[in-house]
Amino acid sequence: DKGQLLVLTDDGQEKLLSAGEVSLTSW
């Protein structure tokens, strides 16, 4: 979906981030 990003957290779980949350995520 547009505006969403699926990432893997440090513990290996999948998390779906909205565009607003992505900007707050430290890579």
The model's pTM is 0.35
Of the pLDDT bands very low, low, confident and very high (cuts 50, 70, 90), residue 2 is low
What residues does 5 pair with on adjacent strands? 17
Encode pLDDT of 3-27 as tens digits.
677 888 888 888 887 766 666 655 5
The tally of CA atoms less than 13 A away on the side-chain side of residue 18 is 1
Distance of CA 2 to the CA centre of its chain: 13
What residues does 8 pair with on adjacent strands? 14
Domain ranges of the chain: 1-27
- Cβ atoms of 21 and 15 closer than 8 Å: no
